[in-house]
């Protein structure tokens, strides 16, 4: 039986994702809701608690249990790994690392050992190193899949934590993959402490990239409205028009082919002929037109009790079509 990967500091804040009552760890393999009229059980798989309310989630507890012996054992094929290593990327986040550095600084101004929830933390987010390297931060890396980083599996529609638990929450490239991003941001708001910080990066001009688990895109103002219960510290382009064009070009070429072999060949061709477009993005991101054509946006904000009205929202447009 593996040791629990969830840091003990977070145990008192855990709540049943169904009824929000406290949970107890009943055994190394199980958490149980303490509410007598609920009493739901949640398994621990590979040391990771699976705190998902099956009645409201697209995910099932049984799927995690069935795969319990496979976690941390599969490696990508050698050829695939080599291709990923050699092919230049067509994607680039412009200054995520600076944003994470700023977030870490703001969190440390709040208190000595801030608690931070990373939603979608199973894969290391681009530019996230400055956050992870800060030893004073207590990080909880959650996801809907178990990887070598996952400490807890939960669904962002029903975050299994008490109100006001976290000083900061990060959702990088997550909110396009949830069926109801508005509900997820409400949950983020609920589990953040007063004046807690949120940092999100969410795509705008990007094609489907996670198969069946890809649902929504946001404009810059659409993204701002999603966080209308937050005061903005900063927002803008995180992935630029160059990356948007490279993605559109790659998916355009790939839409011609259906055989897996041709798909791989065309994919290599698309990467080799379009990777340079991303180098234009740091320059383009400074221009108002980039706010209308970006591949993705970021939002750094502070939990608020005020709501940004839609009248105020439309005044915030900073794009080229004034």
Residues that contact Zn ion, how many (by CB under 5 A)? 7
Question: Nearer Cβ to Zn ion, position 16 or 174?
Answer: 16
The DSSP code for 235 is E
Q: Are 152 and 119 in contact (CB under 8 A)?
A: no
Closest among 74, 52, 77 to 63, alpha carbons compared: 52
Query: For Zn ion, which stretch binds (CB under 5 A), given 13-21, 149-157, 224-232, 245-253?
Result: 13-21
Closest among 204, 137, 160, 201 to 61, alpha carbons compared: 160
Q: Smallest distance from the beta carbon of 57 to Zn ion, in angstroms?
A: 14
123 binds Zn ion (CB under 5 A): no
Question: Nearer Cβ to Zn ion, position 38 or 81?
Answer: 38
Query: For Zn ion, which stretch binds (CB under 5 A), given 9-17, 117-125, 145-153, 157-165?
Result: 9-17
Question: Nearer Cβ to Zn ion, position 33 or 103?
Answer: 33
CA gap 300, 307 in Å, rounded: 16
State which of residues 6, 16, 221, 277 lies at the interface with Zn ion (CB under 5 A): 16
- Which residues ranging from 187 to 226 are in contact with Zn ion (CB under 5 A)? none
Question: What is the chain's alpha carbon radius of gyration, rounded to the nearest angstrom?
Answer: 20
Question: Nearer Cβ to Zn ion, position 157 or 223?
Answer: 157
Q: What character string, x for contact with Zn ion (CB under 5 A) and - otherwise, covers 17-56?
A: -xx-------------x-x--x-x----------------
* DSSP labels, 301-314: EEE-SS---HHHHH
Question: Nearer Cβ to Zn ion, position 17 or 127?
Answer: 17
Closest among 196, 126, 133, 129 to 159, alpha carbons compared: 196
Chain centre to alpha carbon of residue 244: 19
Question: Nearer Cβ to Zn ion, position 19 or 106?
Answer: 19
Q: Smallest distance from the beta carbon of 19 to Zn ion, in angstroms?
A: 3
Q: Smallest distance from the beta carbon of 34 to Zn ion, in angstroms?
A: 8
The residue assigned the tokens 């991303």 is: 278
Q: Give the three-class secondary structure for 229.
A: coil
Q: Smallest distance from the beta carbon of 23 to Zn ion, in angstroms?
A: 8
Question: Nearer Cβ to Zn ion, position 35 or 280?
Answer: 35
User: 163 is written with which tokens?
Assistant: 């109100």
Name beta bridge partners: 139. Answer: 116
Residues 6 or more apart in contact with residue 132 via CB below 8 angstroms: 124, 139
Q: What character string, x for contact with Zn ion (CB under 5 A) and - otherwise, covers 257-296?
A: ----------------------------------------
Q: Smallest distance from the beta carbon of 158 to Zn ion, in angstroms?
A: 11
Question: Nearer Cβ to Zn ion, position 38 or 179?
Answer: 38
Name beta bridge partners: 50. Answer: 153
* DSSP labels, 99-133: HHHHHHHHHHHH-SS-EEEEETTTSPPTT-HHHHT
Q: Smallest distance from the beta carbon of 11 to Zn ion, in angstroms?
A: 16
Q: Which residues would be at the binding site for Zn ion (CB under 5 A)?
A: 16, 18-19, 33, 35, 38, 40
């Amino acid at each position: 039986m593996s040791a629990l990967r969830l840091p003990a500091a977070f145990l008192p804040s855990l709540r049943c994702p169904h009824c929000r009552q406290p949970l107890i760890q009943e055994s190394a393999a199980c958490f149980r809701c303490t509410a007598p009229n609920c009493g739901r059980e949640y398994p621990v798989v590979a040391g990771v608690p699976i705190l998902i309310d099956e009645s409201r989630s697209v995910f099932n507890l049984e799927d995690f249990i069935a795969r319990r012996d496979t976690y941390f054992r599969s490696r990508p094929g050698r050829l695939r790994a080599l291709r990923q290593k050699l092919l230049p990327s067509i994607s680039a986040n412009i200054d995520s690392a600076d944003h994470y550095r700023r977030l870490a600084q703001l969190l440390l101004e709040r208190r000595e050992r801030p608690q931070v929830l990373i939603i979608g933390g199973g894969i290391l987010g681009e530019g996230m190193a400055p956050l992870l390297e800060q030893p004073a931060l207590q990080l909880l890396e959650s996801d809907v899949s178990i990887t070598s980083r996952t400490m807890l599996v939960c669904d962002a529609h029903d975050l299994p934590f008490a109100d006001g638990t976290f000083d900061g929450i990060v959702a990088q490239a997550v909110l396009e993959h949830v069926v109801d991003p508005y509900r997820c941001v409400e949950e983020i708001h609920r589990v953040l402490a007063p004046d807690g910080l949120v940092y999100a990066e969410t795509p705008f001009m990007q094609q489907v990239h996670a198969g069946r688990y890809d649902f929504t895109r946001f404009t810059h103002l659409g993204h701002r409205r999603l966080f209308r219960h937050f005061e903005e510290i900063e927002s803008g382009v995180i992935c630029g028009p160059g990356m948007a064009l490279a993605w559109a070009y790659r998916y355009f070429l790939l839409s011609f082919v259906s055989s897996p072999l041709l798909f791989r060949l065309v994919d290599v061709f698309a990467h080799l002929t379009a990777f340079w477009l991303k180098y234009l993005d740091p320059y383009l991101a400074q221009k108002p037109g980039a706010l209308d054509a970006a591949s993705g946006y970021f939002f750094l904000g502070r939990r608020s009790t005020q709501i940004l009205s839609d009248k105020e929202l439309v005044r915030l447009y900073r794009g080229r079509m004034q």
